[in-house]
Amino acid sequence: MKFYGVIGNGETLALISPRGSIDWWCIPRFHGLPVFAKILNPALGGTLEVSASPTPSRHDFSSTGLIPVKQKYLEKTNVLATSWATSYFKISSIDFLPWKKRVLTRLIKIEKSGREIEEAYILIKFSPRAFLKNCEVSMGYEESEGILYFYSEEAGHSLYIASTLKPSYLFMLDPREDRVVKIGKRDVIFRGVYGLDAFIIFKVPINFQLPLFLGYGDYLEEARREVLEARKGNPLVKLEEECKFWREWLSRGVNVSLPDKDLEDAFYRSLLTLKLLTDAENGGIIAAGTTSLTAVPKRDSNWDYRYVWVRDGVFTAEAFDLAGHHEESKKFYEFLLRCQRSDGYWRPLYTVKGEAPLFEIVNPGITDSHGHLIRLGNAASSQFQIDSPGLFLSGFYLHYMLTKDEDFLKNNLEKIAKSAIWIAKNWSLRENGIWEERFKKSYWLFGKAVCYAGLKAAWKLLDRKSPVKLKELDRIREIIIEKGWSSSKKAFVQKFESDSILDISALSLVFYNVLDGNDQRIIKTVEKIEEKLRFHNSFLRFEGDIPPFYLSTLWMARFYAKLSNGKRALEILKWCLDNATDLKLMAERYDPILKEQRGNFPQAFSHEELVKTIMNMLIDWGEKRIKIAPAIPLSFLEDGKHLVLENAPTPYGKISFNYSLTNNVIEVNIECELEEDVKIIVYTPKPLRVSNVESLKKYNINYSYKGNIVEFPARKGDTSFHLLIEVA
C-alpha cells in the first residue's frame, strides 16, 4: 500500500507522498499549525510539489501527470528516497530533516526518459498556507540572495525556501483567480487560508542534483539564517552525516537478525518511527504526527494526536527499554516527573513543552476531504483517567530493572511514593477510561488493572516501604477479578457493569500480571475475543468498533507470544504488515477490506506494540529466569536459517544468542553478562520436542529437558554457553 513517507528532526514531522510532494508539515513544533496540509484538504491544505519539463512554461507542468515510481528509506535511517516520473523525465528526491536542525533538505535529480534532451526545467510549486480563516499571510522574494519567504504572525509560520542556484524564473499566482501576482520590492499580503502559490523554476543539466532547503524558525530572521547556513555546506556531506546518525542510534540498542526479513525490517522501521515521534529537547513522545485524519469516514472521528499522552508515551518508553534504547525512555520519564502534580497525579496528555492543552477548537475556515471538522487541541486533556500514575510506576519499574540506575531511582523516591498514595486513594473511582469516552465515567477494567500494577511496582521500587501493603494489593486484585468477570458472557469485559461489552483491553490482566495467561478465565475470555472481535484477519478494540486498531490486533499477537505460541503470534503480526504501507508505517487504524490507513499517522501505539511483540517472541524473563526464543515459529528455522539477538537487556544482565536448526539439531550459542544467578530456559519451536542435549565439555552445563524446553542454571559472571539440542 503506497501512502506517505515520514521524516523528522525531533521537533516536527513532514509527510512526503509517493509523487514527491510534501503534503503535511507543522512548524515550528509538532503541534503547530500546518504550513502544508494537502493530506487533509487537497484544494485548500497547501503543498510543495516538484515537476520537470523541457520548457519553462508553467502550463507544461502538471501535478496530475506525476507518476509514482518508488519510495524507500535508505537502509536503517529516516532518510527518504522517492522517485516519480513525467512524460519526459524521471525525478528523484532524497529528503531528510537533520536531527535538531531547523531545515528540511531535498536533493532533487532529473533523469531523461529515453529522449534526446540534455537539460530540463525543474518547477518547484511552493504553496504554503496559514491554515486559519481570515489570517494575514505574506510572501516575498529577496532577489539578491535568490530566496523566497512565507510569513504569518497569527499562524506562527516563518519559512524560507532556497537552493544553491538562483531561480531562472519566479512568479506568484493567486490560486483563487488563477492570475499572476507581480513580485515587487514589498511583500505580497493576503488574508484567508489560501495564501499564494509561488512557482520557482531552475534550469539544470540532465543528471544534475539540485539541493533545496526549507528553513523555519520561531521568527523570520531565524528561518532566513537556517537556509543561508544550510546552503553554505556540502549537502552530500550532510546526507552522509544524517545516515550515520541514524545507524549509530540504532546500533546502541539490540541487534536483531530474523529469518523473516520483512519482519526484521518492520522492527527497525518501528523503532526509527518512534524516535521521530520523540521530542529531542524535552523527551516527550507524541501519540501521532498529525491531526484530524479521519478514522471512520462516515462519522465525526477526527482528533488531534500531536500531544504527549501518558499512556501512549509509557507504552513507547517500554518498547524503547526492551529494545535497549534506555536513553529515550529515561528522558521520557524525566519529562513525566517534571509534569507530575503535587498530589502525584498526571493529566492524560501534555504538549511537548509539558503544558496541558487548555482547549479543543474546530478550525472554522477549512474541513477535511470528507467534509469533517478539523480539530486543534484535544479535550481529553480535561478528562479524568486513573491509569496515568499506574502506567508511570509500572513503566518506571521496568526501566529500573533493565538499567539498575540507582541514582535515577533514589532522586525520585518521593514522587514515586506520591503516585502510589494517589492510586491508593483513587483507584476505585469512575473514569473516562482507556478509550477516552466523552461525557461519561465508568469503572474501566483496564484502569483498575493498571492501578494494581502501579501499586505493585511501587511496593518493589520503594523497597517494600510502599503506603500500600501486600495484603491490600491482594484485596484489590480480588476485586478486579470479581468485578471484571461477566458470568453471562463467561469472559472479562470492558467495565464493571452487568451489560458491559467485550474489550481487547481485558488482555491487560495478563500484561500487568493480575492473572496468568493460562488461567481458565483468561482462556475463556480469549476464546470470546476470537469469536466476537475477530474481523477480517484483525481484532477490534471492542464489539462494533470498525475498522480495527493496529494496537488491538498486535495485543493479540503479544498475548500469544506470552503463551509461547509463536506460530499464532507471527500469523497476526503478518496480518498487520499486510495492511501497513509499503514503507511498513502504520496509522492508528486500518481498513483490511479496502487496504487503507485510517486515523492519524504514523501512530506510536501501533509501532511500539510491534516492537514489544517481536521482543517477547525472542526473549522473556521473570522470577530469576531468562527465556531464550520462547515464541519463535518453526518457519523461522527452515532451510538452515539463523536467528540472532544481540545485547538484549534483562533484569539479570545482557544476553546475546545465535539460534539455528540443521538436520534435527538446534544449535544455540549464548553470550551473556550475568549480574546474578539465574536459570536459563531455551525453547524449541512447537511442535518439536527435545530428545537429547549435548554441550561442549568446557561449559559443563548441568541441564535438564522436558517437552520443548531445556533448562540449566547459570551463575553470576558466566559469559557463554553452547548447546546442541536434538529434536523430533
R_g over Cα of the chain: 27
The C-alpha atoms of residue 596 and residue 581 are separated, in whole angstroms, by: 9
Cell of 26: 507543522
Q: Where do the DSSP E strands lie in 473-579?
A: 485-486, 491-492
The C-alpha atoms of residue 558 and residue 21 are separated, in whole angstroms, by: 36
Residue with cell 513525566: 336
Which residues make beta-bridge pairs with 14? 7, 25
The C-alpha atoms of residue 540 and residue 532 are separated, in whole angstroms, by: 9
Contact status, residue 279 vs residue 12, Cβ threshold 8 Å:
no
Cell of 440: 461519561
Cell of 679: 536459570
pLDDT-flagged residues of the chain (< 70): 1, 60-64, 114-115, 182, 184-188, 190-194, 696-700
pTM: 0.97
The SS3 call for residue 50 is strand
Beta-carbon contacts of 86 under 8 Å, excluding residues fewer than 6 positions away, are 51, 52, 53, 62, 65, 66, 67, 113
Which residues make beta-bridge pairs with 596? 591
Contact status, residue 375 vs residue 37, Cβ threshold 8 Å:
no
> Residue 536 CB: number of other CB atoms within 10 A?
12
Specify the pLDDT at position 620. Answer: 98
The SS3 call for residue 19 is coil
Contact status, residue 174 vs residue 181, Cβ threshold 8 Å:
yes
Contact status, residue 71 vs residue 82, Cβ threshold 8 Å:
yes
